[in-house]
Structure 1
Amino acid sequence: MIDSYSFLRPWLFCLDPERAHNLTLSNMDRAYRWGLLERFVTQPAPDPRTICGITFPNPIGLAAGLDKDGKHIDALGALGFGFLEIGTVTPRPQPGNPKPRMFRLPEAQALINRMGFNNDGVDACVARVRRSRYWQNAGVVGLNIGKNASTPIEDAASDYVLAMKAVYEIASYITVNISSPNTQNLRALQGEEMLRSLLGSLDVAREELSDRFGVRKPLFLKIAPDLDVADINLIADLLLEFGLDAIIATNTTVSRTAVANLEHGNEAGGLSGAPVRAASTEVIKTLKARLGNDLPIIGVGGILSGQDAQEKVSAGASLVQIYSGLIYRGPDLVSECVSALRK
């Protein structure tokens, strides 16, 4: 197991967060190529879970956002995750929002980002996934899709359909991201009229793709933690109506209640890490009460320990994903969470 992260983290935290992020992933790639990751990272014992027709080697996944372009799949897969979610990818390449656009709040074990779906475009990402050993060896890779910033919100469905068509053949599952706070008006897609229209368009496209490829790929939706109970229940009902396969709860929050007095606490963007834990868990509980066992829930938000992962599962999640916890805890967090859920 990598004990050196506690030594490296203070040095990394002296760097600009986005630079540290990219540097860490690049060095992980080198360590993977040299055989060091497999040598020093303890792989969790298998704990398979079959959900939506997919057998996940264990219930701990990487949340979307950490590897937006699929550039680091093999190195991340070597950390012991049961599945990886890549993206968010958009039909066309885009640079995202101006820098700086990522901020640490160490006192709160939190991050704020306003990256804005910066990515090389869906075609480049698909090519990288195909080249990865992890995917070639049947690793579970979800593709998270979004719309380009330049696409008007009323035309968003066309972008999602384009992206779904591009990733369909290679994705283990596809996640529709309508909950990032960093693309203007994107969260409006969580409203009934726009969501109904979007899901209808995706349903038609998926039927065509299922016929073409001879397989019906699972389709997930990722929602925000800032919805009220009525909105959550409405979304749950629409997912059942349009035959989606799972829901991911939740994305980052726009609330600043827990961090308003901290340095960078009022930066624009989505807040992740420990402050979003309770809110995301409450969304999971509300979804579970509405959906029962009709639709699996994937829990994400504020998981920094095995106990936090257990909390999501106790609330109703079948799988969990981590991102900010990896920044603060390092790779040890993966095996800790797998062990906690096995117990």
Structure 2
Amino acid sequence: MYSLLFRHVLTRFDPESAHHAAMAVIRTLGARPFSWVTRAVTAPAPEQQVHALGLTFPSPFGVAAGFDKNAVAVRGLDALGFGHIEIGTVTAIPQDGNPKPRLFRLVEDRAVINRMGFNNAGADAAAGRLRALRRRRPRAVIGVNIGKSRVLAVEDAVDDYVASATLLAPLADYLAVNVSSPNTPGLRGLQAVETLAPLLRAVRAAAGATPLLVKIAPDLPDEEITAISRMAVAEGLAGIIAHNTTIARDGLRTDPAVVEDAGAGGLSGAPLKQRSLEVLSVVRAAVPADFCVIAVGGVETAHDVQERLDAGATLVQGYTAFLYRGPLWARQINRGLRAL
């Protein structure tokens, strides 16, 4: 039913406009009495709980950063059955992001190209919404993904991340440092161990007792992924999120002219599946067994989630397949995991 609606109706809308419309529906589902009805058919089973980062996740499957940049739909996503919701990316300074159009569907590949550019209302606005959410005690775990403000030079990145961490860490169940988006100039350069280590050290001090993770890019050579993983352990981080979108365009079925017209940006969705498994394997081999690894990239089905868990992921995230699978995607994943 949803696939027909998507192909014949939703694809006629600009992707970003369609996303905003979907967010409005999800926000409605998070409000009473709609949330009571929604939870009745989507709630994960008690045996699907995962204990990690000193927290209890209702399900191993959560929604990745980028879907809810401003913490406006957490209650709805919670009601839809996601075990955790990672909001953001949030920057210390509000920003509009890159010029539109900046979000493109590759339907044949079940993929998306985005160059959003960390469009968000800023850390102060996110903090206000998180305070209100905490009073309502959502079931799902809430992570906060933070990034560098575009107007600041890379040389000022440490203070910028620390400002966000100081404000948001007390309101987050965990904090994720995003140094891997391809859509902010110079950001990925922060992944070099010699620059990343002091950044993470400063953010970890600002985060206090809140678990801190770092999100890496899939385009790094395996040896650099190993080095970052070992550094994360040495610096006392709680985990790694593997991984962000890719700048690669290999193996796509979509007409190359369409891909070229979409232009620069990060590719997400089904084409990342194999690289996601490879990166997960590299990270897991470099960190202790009890170190939290969140796998993301190319996840569409319960089988995909279970494959990541079997490969050593502690938790799994998805985003792009939400567009192609519809609002009951988390329910499908949770029920599918129980059946495997």
Shorter-chain TM-score tier:
over 0.9
Query: Which one-letter code corresponds to 2:296 in the other structure?
Result: V
TM-score by length of 1: 0.92
Query: Which one-letter code corresponds to 2:283 in the other structure?
Result: L
Taking the aligned partners of 1:16 and 1:256, their CA distance within structure 2 comes to: 22
Residues 276 and 296 of structure 2 are in contact (CA less than 8 Å); yes or no, is this contact kept in structure 1?
yes
Query: Which one-letter code corresponds to 1:87 in the other structure?
Result: G
Residues 80 and 335 of structure 1 are in contact (CA less than 8 Å); yes or no, is this contact kept in structure 2?
yes
Taking the aligned partners of 2:290 and 2:229, their CA distance within structure 1 comes to: 10
Query: Which one-letter code corresponds to 1:223 in the other structure?
Result: I
Confirm or deny that 1:27 pairs with 2:25: yes
Partner in structure 1 of residue 186 of structure 2: 185
Which runs of 5 or more structure 1 residues have no equivalent in the other structure? 211-215
1:201 to partner: Cα distance? 1.7
Partner in structure 1 of residue 231 of structure 2: 238
Taking the aligned partners of 1:67 and 1:73, their CA distance within structure 2 comes to: 7
1:90-117 CA distance string (max 9 Å, x none): 0010000000000000000000000000
Taking the aligned partners of 2:205 and 2:32, their CA distance within structure 1 comes to: 45
1:18-74 CA distance string (max 9 Å, x none): 000001111222344363454254322121111110111111111000000011111
Query: Which one-letter code corresponds to 1:265 in the other structure?
Result: V
1:135 to partner: Cα distance? 5.3
Residues 39, 334 of structure 1: alpha-carbon distance in 2 compared, 3 angstrom cutoff: same
- The alignment partner of 1:132 has SS state of helix
1:192 to partner: Cα distance? 1.6
TM-score by length of 2: 0.93
Count residues in correspondence: 332
- The alignment partner of 1:104 has SS state of strand
Which runs of 5 or more structure 2 residues have no equivalent in the other structure? none
Query: How much identity, in percent, do the aligned residues show?
Result: 44
Taking the aligned partners of 2:43 and 2:212, their CA distance within structure 1 comes to: 29
1:106-141 CA distance string (max 9 Å, x none): 000000000000000011011112223785345311
1:161 to partner: Cα distance? 0.4
Residues 64 and 144 of structure 1 are in contact (CA less than 8 Å); yes or no, is this contact kept in structure 2?
yes
Taking the aligned partners of 1:319 and 1:203, their CA distance within structure 2 comes to: 21
Query: Which one-letter code corresponds to 1:111 in the other structure?
Result: V
Query: Which one-letter code corresponds to 2:249 in the other structure?
Result: R
Query: Which one-letter code corresponds to 2:80 in the other structure?
Result: L
Partner in structure 1 of residue 334 of structure 2: 338
Query: Which one-letter code corresponds to 2:233 in the other structure?
Result: L
Residues 135 and 141 of structure 1 are in contact (CA less than 8 Å); yes or no, is this contact kept in structure 2?
no
1:284-339 CA distance string (max 9 Å, x none): 00111111414111010111111111121122101001100111111332123223
Taking the aligned partners of 1:329 and 1:43, their CA distance within structure 2 comes to: 18
Taking the aligned partners of 1:112 and 1:240, their CA distance within structure 2 comes to: 32
